Structure 1
Amino acid sequence: MDGVGILVLIVLLVLFAVAVMAKTIRIVPQARAGIVERFGKYKATLPAGLNVVVPFVDKVRYMIDLREQVVSFPPQPVITEDNLVVSIDTVIYFQVTDPISATYEIANYIQAVEQLTMTTLRNIVGGMDLEETLTSRDAINSRLRGVLDEATGKWGIRVNRVELKGIDPPPSIKDSMEKQMRADREKRAVILTAEGQRQAAILTAEGSKQSAILNAEGARESQILRAQADRESQILRAQGEGQAIQTVFQAIHDGRPDQSLLAYQYLQMMPKIAEGDANKVWIVPSEIGKALEGLGSTMNSMRGIPDDVDGPAKRVDMGSTVPDVATIEADNRRALADTHSAVEEAIAAAQESERGTRSPAAGDVPPTTDGGAGSTPPQ
């Protein structure tokens, strides 16, 4: 054999050795399990990592994924108890716990889970009406998971969770549901509006009530304070008038006026009489002295006013200048009554004396305020 033949033989031997090693050493990824068959019969399950098998005798037939898997199934028509067709799509969360059973107990466990899910879902929803189906997702999920977990246990599969992705009723039912939902919302809106108006009316009425009460209390307090102020003002005014009357009365007793004082007072009052708006013309008698003399003779007989006085009389003791309010009011009333009686008696006596003793003098012209022709203005 020449050198070329030897080289080819060496190469073939190397290739055979590589092929044998490839068939002997098998690497299984993490969370996977390899099912090994020997001459078509189950031999062993390879764990994750490096494994050695008999080449050309043992064969890794299946590689099973041990992780939790999620499978979404397309929508399936389901008839409810009230004969309405709804479309329901589901999502299944499952995990292979026994690779041997998942390989040899069922041909295709994903398809088996899908069909089992659809049949179980039809059984569960068939006993519910549409409204119960739409509002009982948790109950449907729990019942469906229990049935699937029990049925898939012998397949080496554990169903962890089942979820209903959507429940779609027919378009006509959707339209009716939307109308009903709209009506319910409008009803709630009307109720809430009425409740708001009711609360607003109640609050407004309570506010008006409180305002009226406060206004009434304020008016009452104002009237009370005004009445108290009027009472105190009247009391102070009465006290002032009483003191003024006492002062004037005391001054009259102290001064002891005579007829000359009365004549002087008459002269002082004449300009004030002429100041009236209706007094356009004032006539002054030519014999003013005789008029004053006649006025003095008229007042001669007035009680309590002498013709001549010797001098100031002894001062009358008036008592305390700040008496009690009740005492002041009583004294004021008595003083006013006495003054009115004295004035009335003096006027009556003067009139009586004038009628009996005095006759009008010839040529005397009484003063007048009638604004006639030929009158002269006051001096």
Structure 2
Amino acid sequence: MITEDNLVVSIDTVVYFQVTDARAATYEIANYLGAVEQLTTTTLRNVVGGLNLEEALTSRDNINGQLRIVLDEATGKWGIRVSRVELKAIDPPLSIQDSMEKQMRAERDRRAVILTAEGTKQSQILEAEGERQAAILRAEGDAKAAVLRAQGEAEAIQTVFHAIHVGDPDPKLLAYQYLLTLPKLAEGQANTLWVIPSELTEALKGVGQGFFGPRHEAPPTGTDAAPRG
């Protein structure tokens, strides 16, 4: 058969029919078997000739229905009733078959690439979501740790302040504790400037007097000495 797009196809057809009037099948037609075969071939050419290859391959049920109606109407006067027509196979030329196979293979490859890309996309989305959740948890953990450290430092300051308040230390003791703290303050590389309150310098004088005793001034000499009487 030749399709509408001028491609030669081979079609294998099966026709199921029944002789309902033996007299008409004997006297109205010389050879009803050959007549049914020829009529099927002619009708099939007319039907397939109006379709392109793709339509012929995808419209088998439509072709079967058209063939059965035409054959049953034409063979009724011969005492024959066509009950069913089936297209067993439609084979396009080998070159067309190769092209169709390549097209189907390309389509399968395209779908495989799409599925792979979709899988990669979903994997990246899940990975990014996991990293985001991990970052959120780390940030929450750091925030809680900072809060706990701040609370601990606040409690330590309150404890020290309470102990100082209860002990009521004098300025000399505070100055001594400050002297003990100075080496720790100097451990940092950026600690090049120390700020010493004026109140603390007065206390340091007291500490010095406590360690080294009261400072005695030298008697005046020279012209500053008082005249003897």
Matched residue, 1:375: none
For residue 139 of structure 2, what is the aligned residue in structure 1? 216
In structure 2, the residue matched to 1:91 is 14
Match of 1:202 among 125, 146, 154: 125
How far apart in 2 are the matches of 1:96 and 1:118? 20
- Tell me the number of residue pairs that the alignment of Structure 1 and Structure 2 aligns: 190
Residue number in structure 1 paired with 2:223: none
Q: What are structure 1's unaligned runs of at least 5 residues?
A: 1-77, 250-337, 358-379
Structure number with larger C-alpha Rg: 1
Indicate yes or no: 2:31 matched with 1:108: yes
Shift of 1:206: 2.3
Q: In the alignment, what sits opposite 1:159?
A: 82
CA distance in 2, matches of 1:356, 1:339: 24
1:26-65 alignment, distance < 5 Å: none
Question: Could you say which residue in structure 1 is the equivalent of 2:55?
Answer: 132
In the aligned structure 1, how far is the partner of 2:215 from the partner of 2:125?
83
In structure 2, list runs of 5 or more residues that go unmatched. 171-198, 219-229
Q: How does 1:9-20 map to 2 (within 5 A)?
A: none
What letter corresponds to residue 210 of structure 1 in structure 2? Q
User: What secondary structure, in the 3-state scheme, does the structure 2 residue paired with 1:355 have?
Assistant: coil
| Conservation of the 8 A alpha-carbon contact between 2:209 and 2:215 | no
Question: For 1:88, what is the secondary structure of its paired residue?
Answer: strand
- The structure 2 residue matched to 1:192, chosen from 73, 95, 115, is 115
Match of 2:103 in 1: 180
Give me the whole-angstrom Cα distance separating, in 2, the residues matched to 1:346 and 1:126.
121
**Which residue type is aligned with residue 216 of structure 2?**
R
The higher relative CO (CA closer than 8 Å, separation ≥ 6) is in 2
**3-state SS in 2 of match to 1:158:** strand
Which deviations, in whole Å up to 9, do the C-alpha atoms of 1:25-69 show, x marking residues without a partner?
xxxxxxxxxxxxxxxxxxxxxxxxxxxxxxxxxxxxxxxxxxxxx
- CA distance in 2: counterparts of 1:212 and 1:149, whole angstroms: 77
Structure 2 partner of 1:51: none
Classify 1:150/1:229 alpha carbon distance in 2 versus 1 (closer, same or farther; 3 Å): farther
Whose helix fraction is larger, Structure 1's or Structure 2's?
2
Which has the larger displacement, 192-201 or 121-130? 192-201
Per-residue displacement from partner, 1:212-265 (whole Å, max 9, x unpaired)?
22222221122122222222233234334444x25x89xxxxxxxxxxxxxxxx
* Distance in 1 (alpha carbons) for counterparts of 2:207 and 2:47: 126
- CA positional deviation for 1:352: 8.0
RMSD value, Cα: 3.1
Pair 1:167–1:349, CA change in 2 (3 A): closer
Distance 1:113 1:227 in 2: 101
Distance in 2, Cα, partners of 1:352 & 1:93: 136
Q: 1:229 to 1:100 in 2, by over 3 A?
A: farther
* 1:218/1:101 CA distance change after superposition, 3 Å: farther
TM-score by length of 2: 0.70
TM-score, normalized by length of structure 1? 0.44
Q: Are residue 142 (structure 1) and residue 65 (structure 2) matched?
A: yes
Give 2:129's aligned amino acid. Answer: E
Q: Larger % of strand: which?
A: 1
Per the TM alignment, residue 351 of structure 1 is displaced from its structure 2 partner at its CA by 7.1
Q: Report the identity percentage.
A: 61
Deviations 1:74-115 (A, max 9, x none): xxxx11112111110111222333334333333333322211
